[in-house]
Structure 1
Amino acid sequence: MDIGFYHDAAGTRHAGGIAVYTQRMAAELSKRHDVTLYTGSGEIAPVLSDSDVTIVETPSFRDHPTRWLDPLNPLGAQNREKFLMTLWAARNDVIDHMNDHLDVLCTYQFLDDLLLSNLVDIPTLHTFHRASSVSPAAWVRDRLSQTDLLVANSDDTARQLTEAFDYDFEGIVYPGVDLDQFRPGVEPAFETDRPAILFVGRLVESKGIDDLLEGVAALDVDQEVHFVGRGDHDRIRQRATRLGIHDDVVCHGEVPHPDLPAYYAAADVFCLPSHTESFGLVNVEAMACGLPVVTTDLEGIKTYLSNGENGLLTQVGDPQDLTDKLTMLLESPALRSRLGEQARADVQDFSWTAQARHLERICRNGLETVTEIDRPSTVPARADTI
């Protein structure tokens, strides 16, 4: 098959969660198929430069003059960039390249799906990474998208969207993990004489940052908590100061994805106390590194984590429950070892290779059922610039 992937930032080194998902799927499938990634210009991620993926770059529109309209734009800066990228692609023969070279085009964000499914003359496959069933974007996509094949990144995402929109999903393709990269025995990124609790992710309220700080403040054992990710580090330090744990908190900032195994290797416990999570890939990465995980009992997370078997689950928004579970692990090296070993064994089914095989089957089966595509001609006239 000739498979295309489309994402504005999937080619770059400093890619976020959905972008990492896109680039890893593209790299894996390029081992067996002709794969093209359409992405914005930037420093190409090693996983792509070391693969057989063909990269078709568009300009980056991050600093485009229209950025001054972002405060008035209800869709936000990223969707402005996506719209301009797709407009450029339509005007500069990139859409024609898709029609001429691909059997199927895969998208991962709502505006990409909405625009491209109406522009290309080939089947499109869209993967949902969250169940935004009540958002205006979800309703607009539902009304106007011409996508042929739907996939979800977790059973819970599929369930919620099916209830909201009566969607018929082709299958589930979970986020994956590179088991060779994320493994025990990696050289640690930092050293400490105290037990280390690690958080990786965006430093936002929905990730349970305040719950984690409160839970750590109530611990009777001596420890450090390390934060890796982008966000308001000053707010975390101020909150830690008010809780009396300022000296116990370390903020490392944003770390390139290939460097994360070293941070997992340096920690004793991983904690992701999210209030909402469709899957929680960082949990799986920590488990692959043999690190015991404390996280919340959300449906997407329970896809791979069973309380007391390969990790510990806490109630959402309950700092005291978090304190109790962290205490269990920090006071018992044997429990940490048992949960970590079982976690590493249980995430084997979530390798990128295994998940790419699922997507491959979905594409192949879906192409057998999709009827001939007849899209209206909506491509703007060609232009060299926007």
Structure 2
Amino acid sequence: MSDERFQVIVIGAGLAGSAAAYRLAKAGREVLVVDRGKTPGAKNMTGGRLYTHALEKLMPGEWTDAPLEREVTREMMMMMSGEDSFSIDSLFPSVSQSYTVLRSKFDEWLASKAEEAGAMMISGSTVDGLLIKDGKAAGIKTGDEELEADLVISAEGVNALVAERAGLIKPVNVKDIAVGVKYVYKLSEEAINERFNTVSGKGAALLAVGECNKGIFGGAFLYTNKESVSLGLVVDSSSWKNSRLPLADFAEELKQLPALARYIEGGKLIEYSAHLIPEGGYKALPEFCSNGFLLAGDAAGLCVNRGFTVRGMDYAILSGIAAAETANEAIEADDYSKGFLNRYHEKLQQTVLKDFETLKNSHDYLAHTRHMFTTYPALATNLMKNLYDVDGSQAKSAMGIMKQTISGKLPYFDVIKDIVKGGRSL
């Protein structure tokens, strides 16, 4: 047994864990962060895109030295059918909302900020379980050591095994998670600027559906970094399982699609990784607290995919802030009961959970709308192809071309119904 005792122990040095540790250390609390990676961020992968409003709330005006890659000023949405593709390309040069990031760099930076503030960081250690005393989380077990604490914050990621083994949350249901696969290709800054028609420091985010995900609930993503491009695929676990398609082959074919291959041509593959993503939404959220225990970030299922935006990193930071604020109040009151810690849920309700309630039907809509990832991408691509087609035959009105494209494929009522439902759900 170690003689050391902490006010708070944080499991995981990802965004939620380091954000909580940073805030707690700033408040003068004795906080320990334990992470299984050799360095913070070594085990983390993402597309990835960070909305910076959360960083501003965490450390107002002090995040400008963060290792951000490119400011996203170009938004691209793509429909794919076979070798054909149709894109909506939007440019917002004056809007500064998000940056692309490489988590291995960014997480290490954020953890270092927590350390500078006074948090203790232990890397390369796996938390094997919780110490439970008198029905309350009272610390952690790691290797042969037991480290005691007044409060434990789990920010261990989507596979929250420590919390699960302690019986504090239920095992993750396969229907509530997605699988992400990511490639990172090294390209020169000049090549990226030329291919994406941008300048240094500015970049693009692309989300695609259709041929890239072969009708499975999910889609492809592409993000520009300073000197690399992140290309990947996210698919719903249940849909992928039912499809019986090998994920490795699935991901390999992604790189061959003409609409995407042109962006990585000549690039050197420098990273390949896969990861689980919580996408169950509002209905799949677990309990966020127990006696002496709080759950944050991906471990709490705080990720929302609404098709045109995927958010998780900003929610992780916001949950880390809320967890730290709740921990501070618990320390002041010397009350670590579930009843007192429930104010963590109230804090999340003021920020993150408002979005989850608004978008509570988004997951079901995307997962169970029959034609979402098959017929609709094909129809959109064929419609644009027909609009541009000039073969010498009599010209048709745009409405005539639209009716011709849809005719026999789907009942008009079904299309209208899906549009209305999507407007309410997304």
TM-score where L is the length of structure 1: 0.30
Task: Specify which structure has the higher proportion of helix.
Answer: 1
Answer with 1 or 2: which has the greater Rg: 2
Higher RCO (CA < 8 A, seq sep 6+): 2
Task: Specify which structure has the higher proportion of strand.
Answer: 2
TM-score where L is the length of structure 2: 0.28
